[in-house]
Amino acid sequence: MISQYVFGPVPSRRFGRSLGVNPLPRKTCNYSCIYCQLGRTQRLQRERKVFFPTDLVVEDVRKVVEDEGDGIDYITFMGDGEPTLAANLGEMAEGVRTFWKGKMALITNGSLFHDEDVRRAAMFFDVVSPTISAGDERTFRQMHRPLRSLTFDKVMEGLEKLRKEYSGEIWAELMLVEGVNDSLASLLNIRKVLRDVSPDRLYVGVPTRPPAESWALPPSRSSLRQVFDVFPEAIDMTEPEEGPFLRNEEEREAELIEIAKNHPLREDQAFELLSLSLGLEGARDSILRMVQEGRLVSVDYGGTTFYRVPIERKEGNEENGAID
């Protein structure tokens, strides 16, 4: 099934075979992170609102669960931007809970937990995975380029409240970018704020797919060694993930496009996905055609070719802290 709201299951290093749920339109976010694999945020979103009807999203999840239930480890709300901006996030999660008894996770930039309604929505999830990649205001703004109204203190206060009220697990994700947050001083600041949130797990990642800013590079191996000295408990996610991406043979080409909207595919992953049903020659022809038709673009990053869907341009920013 091809759905605007549901994608996968796709392999995830944190969540096994993860069925992604997308509760909002493409690249709807209150941040414009320098490392974002969806490109720059053209229009920062200030207000929480209902983007997609709850019933339609829940129904699409139900259909995939009926087909794939045994092959799903987690249902993961994430999407094409910041899922907590969806004002009906809690309703959607509650709706999925009526037929899904397995694990559910929320991947979030962590910016909105100062809002009580967002903390209430979090209660439906077994795991909340927020980004914590800065230990001070300056680094926070450099990394995430958020709405002006979102300060580092406000975001951290929200996360601390979440920790106090939420009984599930918090798996923090620390994304590292060379020259921005990988100095010893930055790492020690991050360690300080992590103590207040006290995550159950800490994952350390680096950009492994083409980022919004081409200069947003992974730290060197020697810097990364320092990172793991400062955070000996951290789980290393600095290597690209492996594993085949899909299931349904007839729909592979269309599903490749759906996956590439959220998740730029390495060349070998795109080939692997298509060659299962089209063969190697067929996979090559298919990718070439999708690129010629403008449905896919190829991007070189770190010596590797990735495929993603073209990024739409929108006019004007609602509020813009730092996009250049």
Residues that bind ligand SF4 (CB under 6 A): 29, 31-33, 36, 38, 41, 81-82, 109
Pick 259 or 290: Cβ nearer ligand SF4: 259
Shortest Å, Cβ 233 to ligand SF4: 24
Shortest Å, Cβ 41 to ligand SF4: 5
Helices and strands: H and E segment counts in the chain: 9, 11
Pick 87 or 274: Cβ nearer ligand SF4: 87
Tokens 């703004």 identify what position? 141
Shortest Å, Cβ 280 to ligand SF4: 33
Strands 265-266 and 304-308: what pairing?
A: antiparallel
Pick 65 or 89: Cβ nearer ligand SF4: 89
Pick 82 or 182: Cβ nearer ligand SF4: 82
Please check whether residue 199 is in contact with residue 172, taking contact to mean a CB–CB distance below 8 angstroms.
Answer: yes
Shortest Å, Cβ 108 to ligand SF4: 8
Pick 257 or 322: Cβ nearer ligand SF4: 322
Pick 36 or 283: Cβ nearer ligand SF4: 36
Tokens 């944190």 identify what position? 14
Shortest Å, Cβ 189 to ligand SF4: 20
Long-range contacts formed by 52-58: CB under 8 A, 24+ apart: 52/4, 52/5, 52/23, 52/24, 52/25, 52/86, 52/88, 54/88, 54/91, 54/92, 54/95, 55/95, 56/5, 57/5, 57/6, 57/21, 57/23, 57/92, 57/95, 58/92, 58/95, 58/96
Question: Which secondary structure element, helix H or strand E, spans residue 77, and what is its range?
Answer: strand 74-77
Shortest Å, Cβ 258 to ligand SF4: 17
Phi and psi, residue 50, nearest 5°? -85, 115
Pull the structure tokens for residue 31. Answer: 């941040």
